[in-house]
Structure formats: structure tokens, C-alpha cells
Amino acid sequence: MSNGSELGEFLRVRRAALQPEDVGLRNYGVRRVPGLRREELAMLAGVSNTYYTRLEQGISTNASEAVIDAIARALNLNTDERLHLFNLARPGTKSKRRAASRSDRARIGTVRLINSMGSTPAVVLGRRSEVLAWNNLGHKLVAGHLAFDSPNDPAERPNMTKMLFLDEHTRALYMNWPEEAARAVSSLRLLAGATPNDQELTAVVGELTLKSPEFAKLWAKHPVQNCMSGLKMMHHPEVGTLELNFEVLAQPDESGHRILMYAADEGSPAASGLRLLATTPESAAPINETVHFSP
């Protein structure tokens, strides 16, 4: 994914979503194309129309922070969208961090931690939402139809975003699937802007675009959101409806690993459902930490 083309697409999509009255401009008659004109956006940002046009065309890169801030204000971007714009417009400012490879593994300590959380479903995710590990309850909750040890094989390990769009069991799990899909694409967009040279991420996006028209449609809208907490409504095939809070904890290193955890309100039907789910048979034995995971 080229940051120049991604920047241009993001600017065009967000400009088209704004109406003149949204930014205090008068709307004169019918417009040939939706949204603000380039010259209007440039005026609001205080830059020349020529310079702004070069940004949309992906010709100019490494714009100054002041210019990026001005364009973000003109586009009414929120905090996550502003960060995404900064990543796209100034790729040279990002660290030269090496993207994780497909042989990426969850740390032993992380696996031990989630395994100790017997009553809390937990999943360890890699940079591209691939499943690196899960505890028993996490596996039963999100992917009981898959083998427990499936994250062990880097070439075949599950990917939460792929499953959401391409796996019928996962799709049926979410009662509000459109909302869940929008969350997933928004998070992936933010990641793509921060790691433009990640070939494996490009492959994930390419596969989903080819195989899922719904993903392709959402991806083209350039949604951006850092989804770290919220509510998920699930209908589990074994225990029924579950209203669960989720939290995503990012590990404080450069691995890009995250721990996704689910919790039910105490005394709620969902809490009873999780307790019942914990008693159901596991489809496979837990992962042997010393054999399958490196420190």
C-alpha cells in the first residue's frame, strides 16, 4: 500500500463527506460532485490550492506538522483520524521498526497470564489481528469450532478480521455484525496508515477485498478508529445471548501484541452464560508452553 495513494484517497473521501454548511460556507446551487471542492478545503486549511491538490494526488509527502493540523481541522477529524492523517502525510517520521513476521509468537509470560484467568475469556492478538494464543474460555467463546492449538501454526493460524468476514460461524456469533465489521475495518485502516510497508498486512487486506464485497465497501470509505473498549452482543451456539464488555490491552513493547479480554456484569445473564460455557468440554488440549512458544 503506497502512502501517497492512501493519503490522496483518505483526503478525497473525507472531503467528499463534508458539506459547505458543515464548515460555515454558503452552498451555491447544485454541485457536480459531493462534498467540498478542493479550493474550498485549501482555503479553510490556509494552504494553496496547488499544494493541496498535490497532496491529494500523492505527489507531495512529508508535509509540515502545521499543515497537517490545519487540514485535520478543516476536515473536522477526530483524534484517531488526525493520527492516521499524520501517519499518511509524514511517513518519514515513523520509526523504522521491523514489522513482525509470520513466525511471530506470544510470549510465554503472556500465555501463562491468560491461562491463569480461568473465568475471563482472553485472546492474544498479533499486529494484524492474527490469533497468537487464547485461554480455554477465550477459545470456546470466539472460535470453539476451530482446534484449540490452531494458533500454533503460523501459516494457518486464525485471524480475527478474516474470520469476521469469511467464516460463517464467526459471523453468526455477533448479533450486531455490521457494527463489529465497521470496528474491525476502522482498526485495520489505522494500522495500515502506521505500517505502510507491511507486506503481510497488504496481503490480508488484498484477500479480504477479493473475497468479501462487504469488506471492500467498508475499506473504500476509509473509516479510522482505535477500538480499545466497548460492548459486544453475541449469540453463542451453546449458551445463547451474551452481552459482554471488552477491553484491549496493548503490550508496552514494539511487538504490536494485544490482549483482548471479555467480561460480563456481575449477576447478569451473560455472567451465568460464561460460567456455563466454562463447563463445556474443550475441543483440544491446552497449548504446551515449553514446546510451542519461545520466550
CA 282: distance to chain centroid? 29
Over residues 118-159, the pLDDT tens digits come to 899 999 999 899 999 999 999 999 999 999 999 998 888 999
Give the residue from 94, 66, 71 showing the smallest Cα distance to 192.
94
Are residues 215 and 244 located together in one domain of the fold? Answer: yes
CB-CB contact of 102 with 155 (8 Å): yes
Are residues 113 and 88 located together in one domain of the fold? Answer: no
Q: Any bridge partners for residue 240, and if so which?
A: 236
Using DSSP's 3-state secondary structure scheme, residue 37 falls into coil
Q: Any idea which residue has 491529494 for its cell?
A: 56
Residues in the chain where the model's pLDDT stays below 50 = 93-102, 284-295
Are residues 214 and 272 located together in one domain of the fold? Answer: yes
Which structural domain range is residue 48 located in? 3-93
Q: What is the pLDDT of residue 158?
A: 95
Are residues 160 and 66 located together in one domain of the fold? Answer: no
Residue 100 lies in a domain: no
Q: Any bridge partners for residue 235, and if so which?
A: 241
Number of domains in the chain: 2
C-alpha cell read off for 103: 513466525
DSSP assignment string, the chain: --HHHHHHHHHHHHHHT--GGGGT----S--SSSS--HHHHHHHHTS-HHHHHHHHTT---S--HHHHHHHHHHTT--HHHHHHHHHHH-GGGS--PPPP-TT----HHHHHHHHH-TTS-EEEE-TTSBEEEE-HHHHHHHHTTS-TTGGG-TTT--BHHHHHHH-HHHHHHBTTHHHHHHHHHHHHHHHHHH-TT-HHHHHHHHHHHHH-HHHHHHHHT-------EEEEEEEETTTEEEEEEEEEEE-SSSS--EEEEEE--TTSHHHHHHHHHHTSPPSSPPP-HHHH---
Using DSSP's 3-state secondary structure scheme, residue 92 falls into helix
Residue 103 lies in a domain: no
Half-sphere exposure of 105 (CA within 13 A, CB side): 16
CB-CB contact of 280 with 238 (8 Å): yes
Q: What is the pLDDT of residue 132?
A: 96
DSSP code, position 117: -
We report the CATH number of the domain holding residue 132 as: 3.30.450.180
- From residue 186, how far is each of 161, 171, 178, 226, 227 by CA, in Å? 11, 17, 12, 7, 8
Residue 265 lies in a domain: yes
Residue 101 lies in a domain: no
Over residues 191-228, the pLDDT tens digits come to 888 877 788 888 999 999 999 999 999 999 999 988 89
Residue 136 lies in a domain: yes
C-alpha cell read off for 117: 484467568
Are residues 123 and 254 located together in one domain of the fold? Answer: yes
Last residue of a domain, one of 93, 125, 148: 93
Are residues 87 and 132 located together in one domain of the fold? Answer: no
Give the residue from 83, 41, 192 showing the smallest Cα distance to 128.
192
Are residues 79 and 134 located together in one domain of the fold? Answer: no
CA 104: distance to chain centroid? 18
Are residues 163 and 115 located together in one domain of the fold? Answer: yes
Q: Ramachandran region of residue 249, left (φ > 0), alpha (ψ -120 to 50) or beta? A: beta
Are residues 89 and 158 located together in one domain of the fold? Answer: no
Are residues 181 and 239 located together in one domain of the fold? Answer: yes
Are residues 186 and 81 located together in one domain of the fold? Answer: no
Enter the pTM of the model. Answer: 0.76
Q: What is the pLDDT of residue 26?
A: 67
Residue 184 lies in a domain: yes
We report the CATH number of the domain holding residue 53 as: 1.10.260.40
